[in-house]
Chains A and B, each alone.
Chain A
């Protein structure tokens, strides 16, 4: 019975904590064409600077439209829509599981256009949730730590490398803390689902006193400063521009499988201007939006051919299977197992 109460408490806890969601950035893009005819509100987990060129291009096309761009973390974005009923016309998030839950629980509004129909089947769910970027989850290694050896190509090779030279890696491995980072939790659960070698790798990493991070920025900073020699499960699109020009760090896509995160958008059911949200979504999916996302935002747009050419890339399946790991009991059980593997006294 204590377990029941614990589970209830966990659920209630997440709900009450999210009652007023925490905003990280709130940027107003005034209408460019003088008179403002409409305002589009976008709630997103993607930094304003990343999407700014895309927003400006959209406004150049639609001069009358002012755009309010609010950034919050993925938990807060979910809570804003699911619990607060916040008034936004488009919700962009990289937390696929939470986006899936919003769509499944009826917070998304169906939308169809030629562009959404053109999306590959794995890049959308029903007419509710649409992916606009596919981002590989990578491994970053300091070349110094390789000691002249070729970089590992699979988790098995990585495990072997860590076993063979524990002194090089002791205390210098970084990864997300799945208890505090939604993205980190999504990555490890998918890793665990896709391969059994993951748990062996986790055990070995656990023996090397890994550093756990809440977000990517400090992890990459520590890599650059040399405090870390290995970062496991980092979003490639986030890391690549930050480590560019540095020969010391190698960005590795593991060949047994490299998770590919789908950054997705949905139009909330209670959107004040759903047609504006849908129009911005179409812009993101359209040719101009795609090329801007690729060149200016540095995010790989949805591209089936690119996936076919790189068979090791596994897009995380946009299906109700994602809901399983959001289950409070499942989450507790999984985290217990993860901690048992990774946090060793």
Chain B
């Protein structure tokens, strides 16, 4: 369904040009027909007039009265220009000297004496319509001047034939002009719309994080559109900037008070005298810890979403990053009696990307592994580079996936079926997958042989 009023520009342009071409073709046809029809009539009239004159020139007076010696050529020439029927009459007043007595000049014709040129009329005669040439001559007969009228009439099937031949040719020319104009209009529409298509292509070819203003060369007519587009891009960029600033501020404002609450609670725990109070304070500390974790995950996720649109492209060495992560998680692991085994960090493994995002993703993986590991087990952290990709494997001996699909677990706020007793936001794996995708990498989550989960995080090598 096309929205109302949204006829394609090309169709509109082509239709209008075609209408113009059709109008021109019809005009051409009518003009050629009229002009040629007039020309044919003039030509045939000229010959008819010449025949009339030739007969008039043969008029003789004298004592016998008026006589005429019809020149053969007069009729022969009429016969050779077209196969038309011919009628004639030579008369003095109403008395016919020779010819068809029923052929009469139109009543309106007053006649003109003297060696004038003939006048032409179209009139009905017997079973047909004829073109009549009429002229008068004064002849001296029996000593008196006598006015003699000469009428020569001709049917006009020849003219009709010429007219129809001309009409056919004119129609042919009109159709040709129309076809040519149609082809040209399609070409024109294409060339007029090409800059728009090029601009659209240039804009749509841009990556998701490319928010530079458009400086594609475009014709003056498209300049306002490009300016509006650039204005829009600038506003979008400003909005993104504000959001990022807001996220950083929020992270700061939430994390700092939580850290204070936690520190105070730990001091209070140490000073607590009753078991009941200690138990309460431990619960407080755990809740604060989880809150801090959730808050930081929420912020990580927001950061991933906003930053992935404008990904930083800097070289990142995964080896020291992993070492640092392991150290930061080590206290928590120790608390749970979980051993951390780090391998493969001896050599630098370089990728290109946003260090902050990569670190957030890996921290989430590691946190998850430690969180779901039972005491006295081992979490292995392994860095490897193969086939153009860096692979970070995090494996635990936890409760595994218990049949949940990776696609389900990486959905936002989705959690496994078997995690009811562990606090979590359901954002961790979402962050991991989004970061992998933003860097052109991928993320695999599989059941580990012998129990537990194996998470593999791939990034293309620099």
Contact = CB atoms under 8 A, between A and B. Distances in A.
Contact of A329 (B67, B72, B73): B67
A333 B65 contact: no
A327 B80 contact: no
A329 B79 contact: no
B65 A4 contact: yes
A144 interface: no
A329 B342 CA distance: 137
A323 interface: yes
Interface residues of A, number: 25
A324 B68 CA distance: 11
A104 B83 CA distance: 10
A67 to B, nearest CB: 29
Interface string A15-36: 0000000000000000000000
Contact of A324 (B72, B87, B142, B157): B72
B98 A7 contact: yes
Nearest to B100: A105
B99 to A, nearest CB: 7
Interface in B61-76: 64-76
Contacts of A325: 72
A316 to B, nearest CB: 12
B232 to A, nearest CB: 75
Contacts of B96: 4, 8
Interface string A86-108: 00000000000000000111100
Nearest to B83: A126
Which of B72, B76, B84, B127 has the largest count of A CB atoms less than 10 A from its CB? B72
A218 interface: no
A320 B72 contact: no
A328 B64 CA distance: 15
Given A8-B96, A323-B75, A104 B64 contact: no
Contact of A317 (B65, B76, B84, B92): B76
B83 A106 contact: no
B2 interface: no
A330 B69 contact: yes
Contacts of A333: 67, 69
B97 interface: yes
A106 B85 contact: yes
Nearest to A193: B72
Contact of B86 (A3, A317, A323, A330): A323
A321 B76 contact: yes
B79 A7 contact: no
A317 B157 CA distance: 20
B128 interface: yes
B75 A320 contact: yes
B270 to A, nearest CB: 126
A1 B80 contact: no
A329 B97 contact: yes
A99 to B, nearest CB: 14
Contact of B142 (A1, A106, A126, A321): A1
A319 B80 contact: yes
Given A2-B64, A4-B92, A325-B72, 4 more contacts: A4-B66, A104-B86, A323-B75, A329-B97
Listed from nearest, the 4 A-B pairs whose CB atoms lie closest are A319-B79, A321-B76, A3-B65, A320-B79
